[in-house]
Structure 1
Amino acid sequence: MSTPDTPARTMPFTYGTQAMLIEHRFSHGQAAVGKRIPVAFRYDPADPFAVTMLLDYAFIGRGEQSEWRFARRTLADGRTDVVGATVGSDVAIAPHPCHQFVEFALIDRAANRAYRVSVDMTDVEAALYAFDQIVALDAEPHIAPSLDAIGAELRALLDDEAGQDGGR
Protein backbone atom coordinates (compact mmCIF):
# COMPACT_ATOMS: atom_id res chain seq x y z
CA MET A 1 0.00 0.00 0.00
CA SER A 2 1.19 3.52 -0.80
CA THR A 3 0.68 6.81 0.98
CA PRO A 4 1.26 10.36 -0.23
CA ASP A 5 4.45 12.08 0.89
CA THR A 6 2.66 15.25 1.98
CA PRO A 7 -0.96 16.40 2.06
CA ALA A 8 -0.22 19.29 -0.31
CA ARG A 9 1.24 17.42 -3.28
CA THR A 10 1.28 19.01 -6.70
CA MET A 11 2.77 16.06 -8.60
CA PRO A 12 0.74 13.07 -9.86
CA PHE A 13 0.34 10.29 -7.32
CA THR A 14 -0.06 6.58 -8.07
CA TYR A 15 -1.62 4.00 -5.78
CA GLY A 16 -0.55 0.53 -6.88
CA THR A 17 -2.14 -2.76 -5.88
CA GLN A 18 -3.16 -6.16 -7.21
CA ALA A 19 -6.53 -7.05 -8.71
CA MET A 20 -8.21 -10.15 -9.98
CA LEU A 21 -8.77 -10.18 -13.70
CA ILE A 22 -12.01 -12.12 -13.65
CA GLU A 23 -12.49 -12.20 -17.38
CA HIS A 24 -10.56 -11.04 -20.41
CA ARG A 25 -12.52 -11.45 -23.62
CA PHE A 26 -10.72 -11.36 -26.93
CA SER A 27 -12.46 -10.47 -30.17
CA HIS A 28 -12.63 -14.18 -31.11
CA GLY A 29 -14.50 -15.24 -27.97
CA GLN A 30 -11.45 -16.55 -26.10
CA ALA A 31 -11.31 -15.75 -22.40
CA ALA A 32 -8.67 -15.69 -19.68
CA VAL A 33 -10.23 -16.18 -16.26
CA GLY A 34 -9.04 -15.69 -12.69
CA LYS A 35 -5.59 -14.10 -13.08
CA ARG A 36 -3.95 -11.71 -10.58
CA ILE A 37 -2.63 -8.59 -12.28
CA PRO A 38 -0.97 -5.35 -11.16
CA VAL A 39 -3.34 -2.38 -11.12
CA ALA A 40 -2.64 1.27 -10.40
CA PHE A 41 -4.89 4.25 -9.79
CA ARG A 42 -3.14 7.45 -10.86
CA TYR A 43 -4.29 10.86 -9.71
CA ASP A 44 -3.01 14.18 -11.03
CA PRO A 45 -3.86 17.30 -8.96
CA ALA A 46 -3.65 19.32 -12.19
CA ASP A 47 -6.80 17.43 -13.26
CA PRO A 48 -8.53 17.02 -9.88
CA PHE A 49 -11.73 15.48 -11.25
CA ALA A 50 -10.15 12.44 -12.93
CA VAL A 51 -8.51 9.15 -12.03
CA THR A 52 -6.64 6.94 -14.45
CA MET A 53 -6.76 3.19 -13.92
CA LEU A 54 -3.79 1.32 -15.37
CA LEU A 55 -3.89 -2.43 -15.90
CA ASP A 56 -0.79 -4.49 -16.64
CA TYR A 57 -1.42 -7.60 -18.73
CA ALA A 58 2.15 -8.85 -18.78
CA PHE A 59 0.87 -12.43 -18.59
CA ILE A 60 -0.97 -11.99 -21.91
CA GLY A 61 1.71 -10.32 -23.97
CA ARG A 62 4.99 -8.60 -23.34
CA GLY A 63 4.44 -5.09 -22.08
CA GLU A 64 0.72 -5.08 -22.81
CA GLN A 65 -1.07 -2.42 -20.76
CA SER A 66 -4.33 -0.56 -20.91
CA GLU A 67 -5.61 2.50 -19.17
CA TRP A 68 -9.00 4.04 -18.53
CA ARG A 69 -9.71 7.55 -17.37
CA PHE A 70 -12.87 8.39 -15.49
CA ALA A 71 -14.25 10.82 -12.93
CA ARG A 72 -12.95 10.45 -9.40
CA ARG A 73 -16.56 10.87 -8.24
CA THR A 74 -17.45 7.82 -10.39
CA LEU A 75 -14.84 5.75 -8.55
CA ALA A 76 -16.12 6.98 -5.18
CA ASP A 77 -19.77 6.32 -6.06
CA GLY A 78 -18.90 2.88 -7.51
CA ARG A 79 -18.16 1.65 -4.00
CA THR A 80 -21.86 1.74 -3.13
CA ASP A 81 -23.81 2.01 -6.42
CA VAL A 82 -23.61 0.88 -10.03
CA VAL A 83 -22.20 3.77 -12.09
CA GLY A 84 -21.31 4.17 -15.74
CA ALA A 85 -23.44 1.26 -16.94
CA THR A 86 -24.87 3.14 -19.90
CA VAL A 87 -24.84 2.45 -23.62
CA GLY A 88 -21.54 3.57 -25.11
CA SER A 89 -19.69 3.73 -21.79
CA ASP A 90 -16.23 2.16 -21.64
CA VAL A 91 -16.23 1.97 -17.83
CA ALA A 92 -18.82 0.66 -15.40
CA ILE A 93 -18.08 0.36 -11.69
CA ALA A 94 -20.13 -1.43 -9.04
CA PRO A 95 -19.72 -2.86 -5.57
CA HIS A 96 -19.54 -6.66 -5.40
CA PRO A 97 -22.59 -8.05 -3.54
CA CYS A 98 -20.35 -9.03 -0.59
CA HIS A 99 -19.02 -5.41 -0.45
CA GLN A 100 -15.42 -6.68 -0.13
CA PHE A 101 -14.59 -5.79 -3.74
CA VAL A 102 -15.27 -3.15 -6.35
CA GLU A 103 -15.99 -4.58 -9.79
CA PHE A 104 -14.89 -2.83 -12.99
CA ALA A 105 -16.33 -3.64 -16.42
CA LEU A 106 -13.91 -2.16 -18.96
CA ILE A 107 -14.09 -2.02 -22.74
CA ASP A 108 -11.02 -1.44 -24.89
CA ARG A 109 -12.66 -0.60 -28.22
CA ALA A 110 -9.37 -0.07 -30.06
CA ALA A 111 -8.22 -3.61 -29.20
CA ASN A 112 -11.76 -5.04 -29.42
CA ARG A 113 -11.47 -6.50 -25.93
CA ALA A 114 -13.48 -6.39 -22.71
CA TYR A 115 -12.32 -6.95 -19.14
CA ARG A 116 -13.90 -7.61 -15.76
CA VAL A 117 -11.60 -6.68 -12.93
CA SER A 118 -12.15 -7.00 -9.19
CA VAL A 119 -10.23 -4.74 -6.77
CA ASP A 120 -10.35 -5.07 -2.98
CA MET A 121 -12.66 -2.45 -1.50
CA THR A 122 -9.94 -1.51 1.01
CA ASP A 123 -7.55 -0.67 -1.83
CA VAL A 124 -10.12 1.50 -3.62
CA GLU A 125 -10.88 3.29 -0.35
CA ALA A 126 -7.16 3.70 0.43
CA ALA A 127 -6.53 5.18 -3.03
CA LEU A 128 -9.46 7.58 -2.65
CA TYR A 129 -8.25 8.54 0.82
CA ALA A 130 -4.75 9.29 -0.54
CA PHE A 131 -6.22 11.38 -3.37
CA ASP A 132 -8.45 13.18 -0.86
CA GLN A 133 -5.34 14.25 1.06
CA ILE A 134 -4.11 15.96 -2.10
CA VAL A 135 -7.38 17.57 -3.25
CA ALA A 136 -10.50 16.84 -1.23
CA LEU A 137 -13.28 15.22 -3.23
CA ASP A 138 -15.76 17.53 -1.48
CA ALA A 139 -13.78 20.51 -2.82
CA GLU A 140 -14.58 19.63 -6.44
CA PRO A 141 -17.75 21.76 -6.63
CA HIS A 142 -15.72 24.74 -5.40
CA ILE A 143 -12.92 24.14 -7.91
CA ALA A 144 -15.11 23.75 -10.98
CA PRO A 145 -16.72 26.86 -12.40
CA SER A 146 -20.50 26.66 -12.23
CA LEU A 147 -22.45 26.46 -15.47
CA ASP A 148 -24.34 29.60 -14.43
CA ALA A 149 -21.06 31.52 -14.07
CA ILE A 150 -19.82 30.24 -17.43
CA GLY A 151 -23.12 31.20 -19.06
CA ALA A 152 -23.04 34.69 -17.55
CA GLU A 153 -19.46 35.19 -18.70
CA LEU A 154 -20.33 34.01 -22.22
CA ARG A 155 -23.37 36.33 -22.36
CA ALA A 156 -21.21 39.25 -21.24
CA LEU A 157 -18.63 38.48 -23.93
CA LEU A 158 -21.30 38.22 -26.61
CA ASP A 159 -23.00 41.43 -25.41
CA ASP A 160 -19.65 43.22 -25.40
CA GLU A 161 -18.84 41.98 -28.91
CA ALA A 162 -22.28 43.00 -30.19
CA GLY A 163 -21.74 46.46 -28.67
CA GLN A 164 -18.36 46.85 -30.35
CA ASP A 165 -19.79 45.93 -33.76
CA GLY A 166 -22.34 48.73 -33.40
CA GLY A 167 -25.22 46.29 -33.89
CA ARG A 168 -24.08 45.18 -37.35
Structure 2
Amino acid sequence: MIKQLDEDEAREALDDLCGVLVDCVEGGASVGFMDGFSLAEARLFWEPVIASVGRKETLLYAAVDEEGHVVGTVQVGFASQPNQPHRADLKKMLVHRRARGQGLARLLMEAAEKGAISAGRSLLVLDTATGEPAERIYERLGWLRCGLIPGYALFPDGRLCDTTLFYKRLA
Protein backbone atom coordinates (compact mmCIF):
# COMPACT_ATOMS: atom_id res chain seq x y z
CA MET A 1 0.00 0.00 0.00
CA ILE A 2 1.19 3.51 -0.82
CA LYS A 3 0.39 6.20 1.69
CA GLN A 4 1.10 9.91 1.92
CA LEU A 5 2.57 10.62 5.34
CA ASP A 6 1.82 13.78 7.29
CA GLU A 7 4.32 15.09 9.84
CA ASP A 8 2.99 12.98 12.74
CA GLU A 9 2.84 9.79 10.67
CA ALA A 10 6.37 10.42 9.39
CA ARG A 11 7.65 10.82 12.97
CA GLU A 12 5.96 7.54 13.89
CA ALA A 13 7.62 5.86 10.90
CA LEU A 14 11.04 7.44 11.51
CA ASP A 15 12.77 4.18 12.44
CA ASP A 16 11.44 2.48 9.29
CA LEU A 17 12.41 5.47 7.12
CA CYS A 18 15.91 5.33 8.57
CA GLY A 19 16.10 1.60 7.93
CA VAL A 20 15.13 1.99 4.28
CA LEU A 21 17.73 4.70 3.72
CA VAL A 22 20.51 2.76 5.44
CA ASP A 23 19.62 -0.39 3.48
CA CYS A 24 19.77 1.46 0.17
CA VAL A 25 23.17 2.99 1.00
CA GLU A 26 24.45 -0.42 2.14
CA GLY A 27 23.20 -1.79 -1.18
CA GLY A 28 25.34 0.71 -3.10
CA ALA A 29 22.78 3.37 -4.02
CA SER A 30 24.26 6.78 -4.77
CA VAL A 31 21.77 8.81 -2.73
CA GLY A 32 24.14 11.23 -1.03
CA PHE A 33 25.80 9.09 1.63
CA MET A 34 28.93 6.96 1.95
CA ASP A 35 29.76 3.47 3.25
CA GLY A 36 29.41 3.17 7.00
CA PHE A 37 26.26 5.30 6.99
CA SER A 38 24.47 4.70 10.29
CA LEU A 39 20.92 4.80 11.60
CA ALA A 40 21.92 7.85 13.67
CA GLU A 41 23.07 9.64 10.51
CA ALA A 42 19.86 8.61 8.76
CA ARG A 43 17.90 10.22 11.58
CA LEU A 44 19.84 13.46 10.98
CA PHE A 45 18.75 13.29 7.33
CA TRP A 46 15.08 12.52 8.02
CA GLU A 47 14.42 15.03 10.82
CA PRO A 48 14.56 18.12 8.53
CA VAL A 49 12.60 16.27 5.84
CA ILE A 50 9.83 15.58 8.35
CA ALA A 51 9.87 19.22 9.46
CA SER A 52 9.56 20.21 5.79
CA VAL A 53 6.51 17.93 5.49
CA GLY A 54 5.01 19.79 8.45
CA ARG A 55 5.64 23.14 6.72
CA LYS A 56 3.93 21.82 3.54
CA GLU A 57 7.17 22.20 1.56
CA THR A 58 7.48 18.47 0.89
CA LEU A 59 5.11 15.61 0.14
CA LEU A 60 6.31 12.31 1.60
CA TYR A 61 5.01 8.99 0.32
CA ALA A 62 5.65 5.57 1.82
CA ALA A 63 5.20 2.03 0.60
CA VAL A 64 3.90 0.07 3.59
CA ASP A 65 4.07 -3.73 3.84
CA GLU A 66 1.46 -6.09 5.29
CA GLU A 67 2.90 -5.67 8.80
CA GLY A 68 2.63 -1.89 8.60
CA HIS A 69 6.35 -1.20 8.07
CA VAL A 70 7.65 1.35 5.59
CA VAL A 71 9.65 -0.46 2.89
CA GLY A 72 9.90 2.33 0.32
CA THR A 73 9.62 6.07 0.07
CA VAL A 74 9.74 9.06 -2.25
CA GLN A 75 9.51 12.81 -1.74
CA VAL A 76 8.16 15.69 -3.79
CA GLY A 77 9.94 18.89 -2.84
CA PHE A 78 8.31 22.10 -3.94
CA ALA A 79 10.50 24.72 -5.59
CA SER A 80 10.76 27.67 -3.23
CA GLN A 81 11.69 30.34 -5.76
CA PRO A 82 8.85 32.73 -6.67
CA ASN A 83 9.41 32.17 -10.39
CA GLN A 84 8.91 28.39 -10.09
CA PRO A 85 5.47 27.80 -8.56
CA HIS A 86 4.76 25.19 -11.25
CA ARG A 87 7.80 22.97 -10.52
CA ALA A 88 8.79 20.33 -7.98
CA ASP A 89 11.75 18.03 -7.44
CA LEU A 90 11.32 14.30 -7.07
CA LYS A 91 13.75 13.19 -4.34
CA LYS A 92 15.05 10.04 -2.69
CA MET A 93 13.00 7.36 -4.38
CA LEU A 94 14.08 4.42 -2.19
CA VAL A 95 12.90 0.82 -1.91
CA HIS A 96 14.35 -1.57 0.67
CA ARG A 97 16.16 -4.45 -1.04
CA ARG A 98 13.84 -7.02 0.56
CA ALA A 99 10.82 -5.35 -1.06
CA ARG A 100 12.14 -4.87 -4.59
CA GLY A 101 10.56 -6.53 -7.60
CA GLN A 102 7.00 -5.89 -6.41
CA GLY A 103 6.32 -2.74 -8.44
CA LEU A 104 6.64 -0.43 -5.43
CA ALA A 105 8.87 2.07 -7.24
CA ARG A 106 6.21 2.49 -9.93
CA LEU A 107 3.45 2.87 -7.34
CA LEU A 108 5.49 5.42 -5.37
CA MET A 109 6.23 7.39 -8.53
CA GLU A 110 2.57 7.38 -9.57
CA ALA A 111 1.51 8.63 -6.13
CA ALA A 112 4.17 11.35 -6.20
CA GLU A 113 3.04 12.52 -9.63
CA LYS A 114 -0.62 12.63 -8.56
CA GLY A 115 0.32 14.54 -5.42
CA ALA A 116 2.33 17.05 -7.44
CA ILE A 117 -0.63 17.57 -9.80
CA SER A 118 -2.98 18.07 -6.84
CA ALA A 119 -0.56 20.67 -5.51
CA GLY A 120 -0.71 22.56 -8.81
CA ARG A 121 2.66 21.44 -10.16
CA SER A 122 3.01 20.77 -13.86
CA LEU A 123 6.73 19.93 -14.08
CA LEU A 124 8.80 17.45 -12.10
CA VAL A 125 12.58 17.05 -12.29
CA LEU A 126 14.97 14.49 -10.84
CA ASP A 127 18.49 13.20 -11.09
CA THR A 128 19.67 9.61 -10.73
CA ALA A 129 22.84 7.57 -10.99
CA THR A 130 23.51 6.74 -14.62
CA GLY A 131 23.21 3.06 -15.49
CA GLU A 132 21.43 2.07 -12.29
CA PRO A 133 18.02 0.29 -12.27
CA ALA A 134 16.11 3.46 -11.28
CA GLU A 135 17.13 5.06 -14.57
CA ARG A 136 15.21 2.41 -16.50
CA ILE A 137 12.21 2.72 -14.18
CA TYR A 138 11.97 6.47 -14.85
CA GLU A 139 12.17 5.94 -18.61
CA ARG A 140 9.41 3.28 -18.50
CA LEU A 141 7.22 5.74 -16.58
CA GLY A 142 7.51 8.38 -19.28
CA TRP A 143 10.24 10.59 -17.83
CA LEU A 144 12.43 12.29 -20.43
CA ARG A 145 16.19 12.23 -20.22
CA CYS A 146 17.61 15.73 -20.66
CA GLY A 147 21.27 15.42 -19.78
CA LEU A 148 24.15 13.61 -18.20
CA ILE A 149 26.77 15.03 -15.85
CA PRO A 150 29.93 12.92 -15.73
CA GLY A 151 31.51 12.33 -12.32
CA TYR A 152 28.73 14.24 -10.54
CA ALA A 153 28.72 12.21 -7.32
CA LEU A 154 30.18 9.16 -5.65
CA PHE A 155 28.81 5.72 -5.01
CA PRO A 156 28.95 4.79 -1.30
CA ASP A 157 32.22 2.90 -1.91
CA GLY A 158 33.90 6.03 -3.29
CA ARG A 159 33.76 5.31 -7.03
CA LEU A 160 32.76 8.24 -9.24
CA CYS A 161 29.20 8.19 -10.47
CA ASP A 162 27.68 9.90 -13.51
CA THR A 163 24.25 11.43 -13.04
CA THR A 164 21.37 11.51 -15.52
CA LEU A 165 18.83 14.33 -15.37
CA PHE A 166 15.15 13.69 -16.13
CA TYR A 167 11.97 15.73 -16.31
CA LYS A 168 8.30 15.01 -16.74
CA ARG A 169 5.49 17.35 -17.69
CA LEU A 170 2.35 16.48 -15.78
CA ALA A 171 -1.20 16.56 -17.14
Give the TM interval when normalised to the shorter protein: under 0.3
Question: Greater helix share, 1 or 2?
Answer: 2
- TM-score of the two chains, using structure 1 as the length reference: 0.27
| Structure of higher RCO (CA pairs closer than 8 Å, 6+ residues apart) | 2
Larger Rg: 1
